[in-house]
Amino acid sequence: MNRFIHAVPCSICLLITLASEFSAATANDRKPNIVVFLTDDQGYGDLGCFGSDSLETPNIDRLCKQGMKFTDFYVHQRCSPTRLALMTGSHAHRAGCTKVIYNKDRIGIHADEVTTSELLKTAGYTTGIVGKWHLGEWDAFNPTRHGFDFFYGFMIDIDHETGIYRNLKRVESIRRKTDGTHSPKLLDAAIGFIKENKERPFFLYYASPLPHTPWIPNEQFNGTSQRGTYGDVIREIDWQVGELMKVLDEQGISENTLFVFASDNGPVLGIQGGDAGPYRDGKWTDFEGGIRVPCIMRWPGTIPPSSTNSQITGIIDLLPTFCAIAGVDTPDDRVIDGRNILPYMKGEHVEEPIHESFIVSGSVIRHGNWKLLVRDLKPGGKSGREGKRPSALAGSLFNLLADPGETRDVSADHPEVVADLRRQMDAAVHELEANSRPIGTLPDTPLPATKNNLKKNVRQ
C-alpha cells in the first residue's frame, strides 16, 4: 500500500518531466516569429547606435547591442517603392512602380505579386500589419487581400479622407497619420496581435508613420529631446520599439523572435529635422543619404550580439531571408532580386559577397566601394525647402570608402572603373526591361504611362 502511495507522485513527476521536455523541444523546434519595424523618413544619423550625439534612443540602442548593425543597408529613395520591395523581394522598378502611390492614381500592388506575407502563410505563419501600408489605397489593394490575416492601420477612402481601418472596415476618421495620438492605438493593436498569436509562429509588420512630416508627437514626448519636435518624435519611435520588445519579453518569446528595425528612406532635408549622418542629401535622391538607412537585426542565439555587418544588403533581401528561415521556397516563376542573407546574420564567413553591387536602374550603381552616377542627381525634394545644395552630374564616380559624403568626383582618375560600371548598368537595365512586372490597377483603369510600361506595352 505504501509502495503504491509513493509510486503515484513519482509517476506524476515523470509525466511532468516528460511534458516539460516535450514542451521545450516543441518551443525550440518552432519556427521563429518575425517582427519588422519600419520607420518613415528616418535618417541614418538619427539613432544613438548609428552615431547621433543629440538624440537619445535607448531602446533601439539596446536592440542593436543585443543584435547586429547593418551599415550598408539599401532601400529606395521614397516610401511606396521601398514597401513594394519589402513585399516582393524585387526592386520596385521590376515590380512596376518607382513613385509614391496616391489614392488618385488608382494603382497598387499587383494581385499576381507573391508577397512576403503570402509566402510566410504557406509556412504556417499568422500574419499582421499595423500602421502604414501605402501600396494602394483602394479596397482591392487592402493588405488582407495580399496575405495579411490582420490589418490595423491607415487607408484613404475615395473621398480622400484618411481613416484607420481594422481589416476591411473603417473604424475611425482622422486628419493626420503622423499625429502622436495614434501611437498608443497602433501599439495596442500590435501588442494584441503578439499576445493572441504567441503560441504559433507569426509575422508582424509594424509600419510606423513616424517621423514623416508633419511632426505631431504624442503629448508625453513633447519637449523631451534636444532636437526640437523632430527629436521628440524620434523619442516616440524609440518608445514604440521598447514597448514591443517588452511584450516579447513578457510573453517569453524574445528568444525565438527575429526583430528587424529599418527606415524606408532617408530624411527630409531643408528643415530642422532628420540627419543622414555622414552621407549626402536625403529623401527623393539616390545619393547615399536617400537610399542608405539604419538597419538592426536581433535574434538571440542566432545573431551574435554587438556585431556589425558592412556588406551590401537591402530591403529586397528580407523576403528570401524570411523564406529561408521559414523553410519555404521563393517564387521560381519571376526574378527575385533579393538574396538570403542568413549567413551574414549568423556571423558566418562568406567567401564571396552575397551582393557585389547595388543598382538603382538607370540612376546609380554601387559596386564594392565604387559608386557611379548614370544620370544627373539633384538635391532631394521638389518644394525648394531644401536650399541650395549642389547637384552632381551623370558620369560622376565616387569612392565611398574614402569619400562617404560623395563630394569628390574621381571619374577622370579611373576611366576603366567608369567603363566597367557603365557596362554593368546597361546589362542591368536590359535585363530588368525583359523581366519586369506591371503594377496593379483598378478595373477599367489604364496602366500608368511609365517609361518601362510604354516600352513593354504591358496590359492587365
- Rounded Cα distance between 156 and 166, Å, is 13
What is the pLDDT confidence band of residue 246, given thresholds at 50, 70 and 90?
very high
Given the residues 93, 110, 134, 367, select the one marked as catalytic: 134
Range with the poorest average pLDDT among 412-416, 436-440, 446-450 = 446-450
H/E element, 454: helix 451-456
DSSP code of residue 216: B
Please give the average per-residue pLDDT across 233-257, as a whole number: 98
CB contact at 8 A, 332 and 114: no
pLDDT band at 21; cut points 50, 70, 90: very low
**Residue 134 is among the residues annotated as catalytic for this protein:** yes
Please check the confidence at residue 18 and state whether its pLDDT lies above 90: no
Residue 97 falls in the annotated catalytic set? no
Neighbours of 304 (CB within 10 A): 14
| 74, 313 contact by CB (below 8 A) | yes
Q: According to the model, what pLDDT value does residue 445 have?
A: 65
Q: Which fold has domain 359-456?
A: Arylsulfatase, C-terminal domain (3.30.1120)
Q: DSSP per residue over 127-186, as a string? A: EEEEEE--S-SSGGG-GGGTT-SEEEEEEE-TTS-EEEEETTEEEEE-S-TTBGGGHHHH
Catalytic residue among 64, 79, 295, 323: 79
Portion of the chain with pLDDT greater than 90, in percent: 83
133-162: per-residue pLDDT in tens?
Answer: 999 999 999 999 999 999 999 998 777 789
What's residue 15's pLDDT? 38
Local confidence band at 381 (pLDDT 50, 70, 90 cut-offs): low
Q: Is the pTM of this model over 0.85?
A: yes
| 308-321: pLDDT as tens digits | 999 999 999 999 99
Could you say which of 3.30.479.10, 3.40.720.10, 3.40.50.300, 3.30.365.10 is the CATH number of the domain covering 32-356?
A: 3.40.720.10
258 contacts: CB under 8 Å, gap ≥ 6? 32, 33, 34, 35, 297, 298, 299, 302, 303, 325
Average pLDDT, the chain: 90
318-326 vs 79-88: helix crossing angle, rounded to 10: 30
23: pLDDT strictly greater than 90? no
Specify the pLDDT at position 382: 55
The pLDDT, as a whole number, for residue 389 is 80
pLDDT single digits (tens) 81-96: 999 999 999 999 999 9
Contact 83, 322 (CB under 8 A): no
Asked if residue 460 has pLDDT above 50, the reply is no
**What is the tens place of the pLDDT at every residue in 174-192?**
999 999 999 999 999 999 9
Give SS3 for 429: helix
Q: Which residue shows C-alpha cell 550625439? A: 53
Q: CB-based burial of residue 393 (10 Å sphere; 0-12 exposed, 13-18 middle, 19+ buried)?
A: exposed
pLDDT surpassing 50 at residue 20 = no
Nine-digit cell at 352?
564571396
Where do the CATH 3.30.1120.10 domains begin and end in the chain?
A: 359-456
Parts of the chain belonging to CATH 3.40.720.10: 32-356
The pLDDT of residue 103: 86
